[in-house]
C-alpha cells in the first residue's frame, strides 16, 4: 500500500506543480497587463494552462478509478499520460507565445500538438469504456469524451479566428469558440465529475438516482451545445437561445443530485464551499448567456456582450472549481494516508472562509460594476485570494527535502503524519 501511495504522490506532485505554475503565471500576466477586463493572454493562460492541464490530469485519475476493470493491480499513470502532458504543454506554450504576435504557423503547430494530446486522451478513455462496458460510472467518462470533442471544435474555431475569417463571420466564430470552451470543454467535464466527486468532498454517500441523472443529462447538454453552435454559425440567434434552454435542462437534470446531496449534508469545508460557489457562478453564466442572446439584436452585438461576462464567469466558475478541487484532491493523493491527508487538508484549509469571501466579493464587484475603480478593486481582491492559495498549495506540493531546507530543518506540520501513515 505504501508503495502505491508513494508512486501516486511521485506522479501527482510534478503534475500538480504544472497547474500551480500556470496559476502563478495568471497573477504575473495580470500584474503585467493591468487591464480591466482581462485581455486575451490572461484568459487563455487560465483556460489553456490552468484548466486544461487540471482536466487532463484529473480526468485520467477518475477514469482509472471509476473504471477499475481497465487496470490490474495498483492504479498508476501509464507512460502515455506523461507524454500527453508534455505534448499538451509544448502546444499551450506555443499558442500563448505566438498569438499575441500573430505568428500563424507557430499557432498552427501549437494547435496541432494540443489536438494530438487531447485525441490521445480520448482514445485512452474510449478504450477504458470498451473494456468496462457495464461500469456503473461509464456515463461520467462519456461526459469527458464529449467535453474533449467540444475542445477540439473550439481549437478549430480559435485557429480560424487567428488565420482570418470574413468580417461578417468573425463574431459568429468567436461566439462559438467561447461557448465550446466554457460550456463544452469545462462545464461538461465538471457536470460529469460532480456526480461522484461532490459526495466525496462532502464525505457522504451518493444520493439515489445520481448515476441515472448523469446518464440523462449528457444527451441534453450535448444536444443543446450542438444547437447553440449551429444557431451561432448560421445566424439563428433564437435557435442558439433554444439550444441554451436545452442545455439548461440538461444542467438542471445533472445538478439535481448535487442539490440533494448538499441538503443531505451541507458543505462546510473550504473545498466544498468553493465548489458550491463555483456552481452558482456557472448558473449565473448560463443565465447571462441566455439573457444576452434574447436581449441583443444580432450576433455581432452578442459577441461584444460576451466580452463583459466571460471574464467573471471563467474566474468564478472555472478557476474556483480548479482551486476547490485541488483543495480536496491534493491531500488525498499526496497525504500518504489518513493522518497525512488530514494534516495536508488542514494546511490548505487555512484562512479558507476568508479567502472564499475575498474571492467571491471581488467577483461580485467585477460582475456588478461597469468598469473603473470598482472593477480594479474587485480583480485585486480576486488576485489576493489566488495568491494566498498558491502559497499554501506550494507548501503541500513541494518535496519534503525542500520544505525542510526552507524551514531550517524543522519538521513541517503538513508532513508529520506521512511517515507514520506509510
Q: What is the 3-state secondary structure (H, E, C) of 275-302?
A: HHHHHHHHHHHHHHHHHHHHHCCCHHHH
What per-residue confidence (pLDDT) applies to 341? 80
For every one of its 422 residues, what pLDDT tens digit does the chain have, with 9 covering 90 and above? 444 455 566 777 888 899 999 999 988 888 876 665 557 888 899 999 999 999 999 998 888 888 764 444 444 446 778 899 999 999 999 999 998 888 889 999 999 999 999 999 999 888 888 776 666 778 889 999 999 999 999 999 999 998 888 888 899 999 999 999 999 999 999 999 998 999 999 999 999 988 899 999 999 999 999 999 999 998 788 999 999 999 999 999 999 999 999 999 999 999 999 999 999 999 999 999 999 999 888 888 888 888 888 888 999 999 999 999 999 999 988 877 777 788 888 889 898 999 999 999 999 998 887 777 888 898 899 999 999 999 999 988 876 544 444 444 444 444 434 333 33
Indicate whether this model's pTM tops 0.75: yes
Length of the chain: 422
Can the peptide bond before residue 419 be classed as cis, meaning omega within 30 degrees of 0? no
CA distance to 1, 181, 305, per residue, from 296 (Å): 58, 22, 8
How many domains does one find in the chain?
1
Residue 247: CATH number of its domain: 1.20.210.10
Q: Is the dihedral of CA 188, 365, 307, 24 positive or negative?
A: negative
pLDDT at 73 (0 to 100): 42
Which residue, among 188, 143, 181, has the nearest Cα to 47 in the 3D structure?
Answer: 181
Report phi then psi at 235, rounded to 5: 75, 15
- Residue 397, pLDDT score: 85
Contact in structure between 236 and 230 (CB atoms under 8 Å)? yes
pLDDT at 120 (0 to 100): 92
Q: Compute the distance between CA of residue 214 and CA of residue 211 in angstroms, rounded to an integer.
A: 5
User: In Å, what is the CA distance from 273 to each residue of 69, 154, 278, 343?
Assistant: 33, 30, 9, 19
Counts of helices then strands in the chain (DSSP H, E): 18, 0
pLDDT score of 184: 95
Give CA–CA dist 312/364, Å, rounded. Answer: 8
Structural domain containing residue 195: 2-421
pLDDT for the residue numbered 183: 95
| Backbone phi, psi, residue 348, to 5° | -75, -20
Whether the Cβ atoms of residue 201 and residue 126 lie closer than 8 Å to each other: no
Amino acid at each position: 500500500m505504501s508503495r502505491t501511495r508513494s508512486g501516486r504522490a511521485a506522479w501527482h506532485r510534478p503534475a500538480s506543480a504544472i497547474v500551480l505554475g500556470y496559476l502563478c503565471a495568471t497573477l504575473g500576466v495580470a500584474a503585467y497587463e493591468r487591464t480591466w477586463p482581462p485581455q486575451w493572454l490572461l484568459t487563455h493562460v487560465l483556460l489553456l494552462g490552468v484548466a486544461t492541464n487540471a482536466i487532463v490530469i484529473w480526468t485520467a485519475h477518475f477514469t482509472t478509478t471509476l473504471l477499475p476493470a481497465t487496470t490490474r493491480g495498483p492504479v498508476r499513470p501509464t507512460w502515455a499520460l506523461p507524454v500527453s502532458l508534455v505534448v499538451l504543454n509544448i502546444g499551450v506554450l506555443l499558442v500563448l507565445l505566438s498569438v499575441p504576435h500573430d505568428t500563424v504557423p507557430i499557432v498552427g503547430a501549437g494547435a496541432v500538438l494540443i489536438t494530438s494530446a487531447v485525441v490521445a486522451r480520448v482514445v485512452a478513455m474510449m478504450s477504458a469504456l470498451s473494456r468496462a462496458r457495464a461500469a456503473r460510472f461509464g456515463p461520467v467518462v462519456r461526459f469527458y469524451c464529449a467535453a474533449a470533442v467540444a475542445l477540439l471544435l473550439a481549437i478549430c474555431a480559435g485557429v480560424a479566428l487567428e488565420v482570418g475569417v470574413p468580417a461578417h463571420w468573425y463574431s459568429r466564430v468567436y461566439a462559438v469558440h467561447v461557448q465550446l470552451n466554457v460550456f463544452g470543454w469545462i462545464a461538461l467535464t465538471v457536470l460529469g465529475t460532480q456526480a461522484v466527486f461532490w459526495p466525496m468532498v462532502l464525505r457522504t454517500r451518493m444520493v439515489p438516482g445520481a448515476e441515472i441523472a448523469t446518464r440523462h443529462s449528457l444527451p441534453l447538454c450535448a444536444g443543446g451545445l450542438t444547437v447553440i453552435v449551429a444557431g451561432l454559425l448560421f445566424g439563428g440567434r433564437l435557435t442558439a437561445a433554444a439550444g441554451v434552454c436545452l442545455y439548461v435542462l440538461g444542467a438542471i437534470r445533472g445538478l439535481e443530485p448535487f442539490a440533494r446531496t448538499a441538503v443531505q449534508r451541507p458543505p462546510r469545508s473550504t473545498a466544498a464551499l468553493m465548489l458550491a460557489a463555483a456552481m452558482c457562478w456557472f448558473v449565473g453564466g448560463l443565465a447571462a448567456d441566455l439573457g444576452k442572446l434574447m436581449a441583443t439584436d444580432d450576433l455581432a452585438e452578442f459577441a461584444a456582450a460576451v466580452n463583459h461576462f466571460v471574464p467573471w464567469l471563467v474566474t468564478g466558475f472555472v478557476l474556483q472549481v480548479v482551486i476547490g478541487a485541488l483543495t480536496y484532491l491534493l491531500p488525498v493523493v499526496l497525504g500518504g494516508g489518513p493522518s497525512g491527508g488530514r494534516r495536508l487538508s488542514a494546511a490548505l484549509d487555512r484562512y479558507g472562509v476568508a479567502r472564499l469571501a475575498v474571492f467571491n466579493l471581488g467577483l461580485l464587484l467585477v460582475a456588478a460594476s461597469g468598469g473603473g475603480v470598482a472593477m480594479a478593486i474587485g480583480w485585486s481582491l480576486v488576485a489576493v485570494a489566488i495568491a494566498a492559495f498558491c502559497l499554501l498549495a506550494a507548501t503541500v506540493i513541494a518535496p519534503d527535502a525542500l520544505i525542510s531546507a526552507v524551514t531550517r530543518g524543522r519538521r513541517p506540520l503538513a508532513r508529520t503524519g506521512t511517515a507514520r501513515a506509510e
